[in-house]
A and B are shown apart, each in its own frame.
Chain A
């Protein structure tokens, strides 16, 4: 399949008054349509920077990020942040409709779409709730629905469940799996959890410590549709062990 997203020798350096802090170094990979890619790596290896470059929120200081031959900022992205990042003055429904409003207006199709998404993320009955009244997991599900409402070309998830407790986190992982299997999007997701990555992804990219560059590009050949029980299968364990080994062999930054 023709790749939809290309990273070519991407380098990014943040100015810090001391020659700059290099976050990414000569990173190259590409992502095919409807592919689910997970990015793993030690903290501070530039994973979030990478996602920001893919979203067009930053421009790389070297190399190129191309979306269908265009600069990355031209793509319609759905971004899910580490925290839910909802607007506290908008209700759940209004938060989910925000991307449509910014794109020019909400029509009946948009409203139906929002209702379907609220159903999909399991928040029926909470349309008129304020974000302050939601639990962490519910707020993050609103954020996922908001990222999907405008039918984005690519979905970028930045440790979306990092702020949740371990039990909620596992549940949200399988929820995301269910949502993704219902609406196949191109996804790039940054995570800290190996089992989350193996369960969800078609491919796992492992970055080295700063400056981040590609250490491992591992295909996850588990069959789809995937279910929660696969976490306990032998293949799953083998893949998780391989990736764990690859990360352990990386030097400390």
Chain B
């Protein structure tokens, strides 16, 4: 320490101190940004408490708004009324019944959509002419809002499960398709040469190289697709159906049972969250090799 400080002349030290003062005292925005950053680091360490605390604050504000303006329950039910309605719907079985219907639609639509999108995506990634021919149609199909096509699908396929599964499939198709194409195209050419120099068959190239190499991007698409599939199912149920969570929202709205609408929305959020985190779990399990996904810290 002593030896080091001797190397600074008094002049240099003064300059250093003034720079230090300038840095710490003058630029308030910088301090603010730094403070926010530190806050985020601390919050991340106590993530559970952060979520719990913000949720409680939101509930208190909600209750206060309903109370202060004396809003009737059909405009804004209080958290307690929603909780009571939720419990009632849970106990009489209606919530579970409609949830199961939506879950079936979502899972079937997701499976079909992922299946078709992966196969098409792999084909388009491999064949430039096919991609060039088909991509205008695929993009055009995305430019149309699903609510606009949903009535047609219900006219053609009835108001049962099939039309909802179809809408779900179509909603999920595009993000998975794009991510499959991007993932397969991003397989490093050097690794392709490696398996080629080892005389790998096309099936082996798929299994040992393309699937694992494209998996991170593909699963990113699946995250988006999983949440979109819930939207797809609810849109379908809104347009025409006699069961499912979307139908339940419609019922609640029609009967001015706003608490039921809130309870159903909460159920939908739970459904979307559990689908999303299932994919995240899948990523954690399959992408342990990738630093961005592995939970354990490494040197």
Please give me the residue from chain B that is nearest to A87 by CB atom.
B191
Chain B residues near A108 (CB, 8 Å)?
Answer: none
Please give me the residue from chain A that is nearest to B299 by CB atom.
A133
Chain B residues near A85 (CB, 8 Å)?
Answer: 190-191, 194
A132 at the interface (CB under 8 A from B): yes
Of B8-16, B26-34, B136-144, B198-206, which binds chain A? Answer: B198-206
CB distance from A138 to the nearest CB of B (A): 14
Question: Is B289 a contact partner of A132 (Cβ separation < 8 A)?
Answer: yes
CB distance from A142 to the nearest CB of B (A): 13
Question: Is A132 a contact partner of B291 (Cβ separation < 8 A)?
Answer: yes
Of A10-18, A76-84, A174-182, which binds chain B? Answer: A76-84
B196 at the interface (CB under 8 A from A): yes
Partner of B197 from A77, A130, A131, A132 at Cβ < 8 Å: A77
Please report the total number of A residues contacting B with Cβ < 8 Å: 25
Question: Is A99 a contact partner of B198 (Cβ separation < 8 A)?
Answer: yes
A57 with B190, Cβ < 8 A, contacts A87-B212, A102-B208 known: no
A122 at the interface (CB under 8 A from B): no
CB distance from A157 to the nearest CB of B (A): 12
Taking each of B190, B204, B208, B289, which has the highest tally of chain A beta carbons within 10 Å of its own beta carbon?
B289
Question: Is B289 a contact partner of A88 (Cβ separation < 8 A)?
Answer: yes
Question: Is A102 a contact partner of B212 (Cβ separation < 8 A)?
Answer: no
Chain B residues near A76 (CB, 8 Å)?
Answer: 199
Partner of B200 from A77, A102, A130, A133 at Cβ < 8 Å: A102
Question: How far does the alpha carbon of A131 sit from the alpha carbon of B289 in the complex, in Å?
Answer: 8
Partner of B198 from A81, A102, A133 at Cβ < 8 Å: A102
Question: Is A89 a contact partner of B204 (Cβ separation < 8 A)?
Answer: no
Interface residues of B in 172-200 (CB under 8 A from A): 190-191, 193-200
Please report the total number of B residues contacting A with Cβ < 8 Å: 22
A81 with B194, Cβ < 8 A, contacts A89-B212, A102-B208, A133-B298 known: yes
Chain A residues near B298 (CB, 8 Å)?
Answer: 133
Chain A residues near B212 (CB, 8 Å)?
Answer: 87, 89
Interface residues of A in 92-147 (CB under 8 A from B): 98-99, 101-103, 130-133
Chain A residues near B191 (CB, 8 Å)?
Answer: 85, 87
Question: Is B289 a contact partner of A79 (Cβ separation < 8 A)?
Answer: no
A189 at the interface (CB under 8 A from B): no
A50 at the interface (CB under 8 A from B): no
CB distance from A81 to the nearest CB of B (A): 6
Question: Is B208 a contact partner of A79 (Cβ separation < 8 A)?
Answer: no
B271 at the interface (CB under 8 A from A): no
A79 with B197, Cβ < 8 A, contacts A88-B289, A132-B291 known: yes
Please give me the residue from chain A that is nearest to B192 by CB atom.
A57
Question: How far does the alpha carbon of A15 sit from the alpha carbon of B214 in the complex, in Å?
Answer: 30
CB distance from A51 to the nearest CB of B (A): 10
Taking each of A77, A89, A103, A130, which has the highest tally of chain B beta carbons within 10 Å of its own beta carbon?
A89
B209 at the interface (CB under 8 A from A): yes
CB distance from B287 to the nearest CB of A (A): 8
B290 at the interface (CB under 8 A from A): yes
A192 at the interface (CB under 8 A from B): no
Question: Is A90 a contact partner of B289 (Cβ separation < 8 A)?
Answer: yes
Which B residues fall within an 8 A CB radius of A?
A: 190-191, 193-200, 204, 208-209, 212-213, 215, 287, 289-291, 298-299
| Cross-chain pairs A/B with CB under 8 angstroms, 9 sampled | A57-B196, A81-B190, A81-B194, A87-B212, A89-B287, A90-B289, A132-B289, A132-B291, A150-B198
Which A residues fall within an 8 A CB radius of B?
A: 55-57, 73, 76-77, 79, 81, 83, 85, 87-91, 98-99, 101-103, 130-133, 150
Other than A81-B194, A132-B290, A133-B298, give 7 A-B pairs with Cβ distance below 8 A: A56-B197, A57-B193, A77-B197, A89-B213, A90-B289, A102-B195, A130-B289
Q: Which 4 pairs from chain A and chain B are nearest by CB?
A: A79-B197, A89-B289, A89-B212, A130-B289
